[in-house]
Amino acid sequence: MTVETLHFQAEVAKLLDIVVHALYSQKDVFLRELISNASDACDRLRYAAITEPALTEGDAEFKVRLIPDETAKLLTIADNGIGMSRDDLVENLGTIARSGTARFAEALAAQAAKADGEKTLSLIGQFGVGFYAAFMVAGRVDVITRKAGEAQGWKWSSDGKGDFTVEPYDEAPRGTRIVLHLKDDALDYLKPETLTRVVKTYSDHIDLPVVLVEGEESRTLNAAAALWTRPKAEITPEQYKEFYHHVGHAFDDPWLTVHMHAEGAIEYTGLVFVPSDRPFDLFDPDRRQRLKLYVRRVFITDDCEGLVPSYLRFLKGIVDTPDLPLNVSREMLQDNPLVRKIGRGLVGRVLAEIGKASEDATRYAEFWETFGAVLKEGIYEDFERRATILDLCRFRSSLRDGWISLADYVAAMPEGQEAIYFLTGDSVAALKANPQIEGFTAKGVEVLLLTDTIDEFWTTMAPPYKEHRFASVAMAGGDLAKIKAKDDAPEAEPKPEDENPTAEADIHALALAMKAVFGDEVSAVKSSERLTASPVCLVSGDAGVSLHMERLLKAHNRTGAHADRVLEINPKHPVIKALAQHAEGDAFADAAWLLLDQARIVEGEPVADAAAFSRRLTSVMEKGLL
């Protein structure tokens, strides 16, 4: 077989350029990443060998070896793990086979342009492509590998400039050898003291020996003991941080560390981290969790369905238990009652620790802005814990700046208010300007401003909070009349037009006339008690989806659900008063349509007939200016 020359995926080529030019000041991370990858390869083979012992025959002592060659300016990182086939090499080292790749490359390039190496590293870590950090120190990288159980070995080689080659390599031992042809300014990584320093700093926690080979001699550089088995009192914050970097293939620092050990009916240890930065694929449709399951320190899987619910998929770390058999298959783990019990205990502890951290409002805001939209999925999906999750939720408000809790909201409710009011939309600024909240603001009633997609779902499922139900101000109806305005509310200052309101019969007649003009464009026109400054607003009917939900469904090509539109009119507004006196003729119809289109625009919807809207608006302007 001959040498194949293949091209990097376009996004990989961009990534390599950024790695080489933007991260130069943080070169040590290349070794951390390559050692972590080698450790993972050994973990995977150790698991596979439980059912196929022949895979490790002749070489069952797992280790990572660092082999410097000062004469040839080569540094080799070798493992005796699972290895790679030809297709594995092409897929793992030549492409980024994940959704959102193009967006990732764009975000990475934008961050690199800011010369913020730490943030750029974080982005690279989120996408799981730390191998490419090798090109920070190497002008050329060779990967020599043979997959366990296969006879043919392979060699991958590249200078990181657009192409790579793949060819058979008959002498390849089982596992992977990464040979770095070091650049002249990276020759320090051939010195034993430099390698020792980097391993002690970043890889001391690796649960297998990291061995430095010097001629005929070798020595282990790390502690080679699983960090999670050590007493917490003996573990430093730096050691926790570096373990997080290893287990999560991450470059950011953990926002929260939870190290727990449970004994009794079941025994397990959990070392779990909440990241500071959002994983790049957090909103991928598969919603995979990121915890690794070990049995007696033997890696089993990093895809254990049911270990934690999908709304905690941002968690990274490990769970280790002696109560499962070592030869447990991934299929046997599905719906496993022991896994579910471990998961319940782990989730309860993590939520409790997040709750404790929420006492620091500034620090908690960092977490909420990063993962709040995901955590709220639990209100919709986890009936057992949704009350706990509601306590952890934070919201933007129509009356206050910053984030508030539901406890904050309830404490500020005026007399007569029974519901917790909310409004969903695309942005906080747009929601604050929405006329639907005018009456609530006038009485000093807070409205929660919800802008995450999941808000349209959990609000329909949430239980009452401290006996207060959730109610959307975007739906027709309402009970504002029952609420007593606060003394400092805007409504305490009466408006001149309030002294001479339009007669109820005239408003009823106007509503009927406007409905006749609109036909099926709206289901009803009715007087509003919510409007104070605007003449009209568009709301949803009492049943069915909201207007915002309809737009979201359309954006995802789901057009089956339609909102029932109701136009509410403000009987105290001068325009409505004047219109009630001229409820017939073409001028009336044009004015009515302009009001409906105005309500549509404010609600974020397009006008039904842009040409007609333009004609009517021009006509009104002519009459007003001429």
Question: Residues 42, 64: contact at Cβ < 8 Å?
Answer: yes
CA distance 276 to 254: 5
| 223 against 363, higher pLDDT | 363
Number of alpha carbons in the 13 Å side-chain half-sphere of residue 256: 23
C-alpha 475/C-alpha 206 separation (Å) is 56
Nearest to 520, CA basis, from 558, 555, 567, 560: 567
CATH class of 228-359: alpha beta
Half-sphere exposure for 589 (CA within 13 Å, toward CB): 8
With a cut of 80, say whether residue 11 has pLDDT above it.
no
Could you tell me whether strands 565-569 and 524-527 are parallel, antiparallel, or unpaired per DSSP bridges? parallel
Lowest mean pLDDT segment, chosen from 217-231, 279-293, 479-493: 479-493
Identify the pLDDT of residue 100: 44
How far apart are alpha carbons 68 and 31 in whole angstroms? 13
Q: Report how far apart, in Å, the C-alpha atoms of 501 and of each of 74, 497, 506, 572, 577 are.
A: 88, 7, 10, 5, 8
Residues 53-79 have pLDDT tens digits of 999 998 989 999 999 999 999 999 999
Position 25 pLDDT exceeds 60 = no
Q: By the 8 A CB rule, do 228 and 262 touch?
A: no
Q: If you classify domain 4-221 with CATH, what class do you get?
A: alpha beta
Of the two residues 424 and 105, the one the predictor is more confident about is 424
168 or 506: whose pLDDT is higher? 168
Band of pLDDT at residue 228, cut at 50, 70 and 90 = very high
What pLDDT was estimated at residue 51? 86
Which range of 292-306, 433-447, 547-561 scores highest in mean pLDDT? It is 433-447
DSSP helix/strand/coil, 279:
coil
pLDDT, tens digit (0-9, with 9 covering 90-100), for 134-184: 888 999 999 999 999 999 999 999 998 888 999 999 999 999 999 999 999
Each domain of the chain, given as residue ranges in start order, spans 4-221, 228-359, 395-492, 500-625
Residue with tokens 């990572």: 64
Which among 168, 185, 194, 202 is positioned nearest to 86, based on CA atoms?
168
Same CATH topology for 4-221 and 500-625: the answer is no
- CA separation for the pair 524, 541 (Å, rounded): 9
Instruction: Give yes or no for a contact between 46 and 301, defined as CB atoms under 8 angstroms apart.
Output: no
| CATH node for 500-625 | 1.20.120.790
Residue 525 has pLDDT above 80, yes or no: yes
Of 45, 43, 33, 199, nearest in space to 129 by CA? 33
Neighbours of 542 (CB within 10 A): 10
* pLDDT value at 189 more than 90: yes
Token readout for 435 is 């006329």
pLDDT in tens, 80-99: 999 999 999 988 887 754 44
What is the C-alpha to C-alpha distance for residues 576 and 570, in angstroms, rounded to an integer? 7
| The CATH number fitting domain 395-492, selected from 3.90.1580.10, 3.40.50.1580, 3.30.70.2190, 3.40.50.11260 | 3.40.50.11260
The residue type at 606:
P
CA distance 313 to 617: 51
Mean pLDDT of the chain: 86
| Residue 208, CB-side half-sphere exposure with 13 Å CA sphere | 23
| CB-CB contact of 443 with 488 (8 Å) | no
Cβ atoms 449, 409 nearer than 8 A: no
Instruction: Determine the distance from the C-alpha atom of residue 419 to the mean position of all C-alpha atoms in its chain, rounded to a whole number.
Output: 30
pLDDT at residue 128 is higher than 50: no
The pLDDT score that the predictor gives to residue 326 is 79
- Helix 192-202 with 29-51: angle, nearest 10 deg: 70
pLDDT digit string, tens, across residues 448-467:
999 999 999 999 889 999 99
What does the pLDDT look like over 579-616, one tens digit per residue?
988 888 888 999 999 999 999 998 888 888 899 999 99
Beta bridge partners of 420: 470
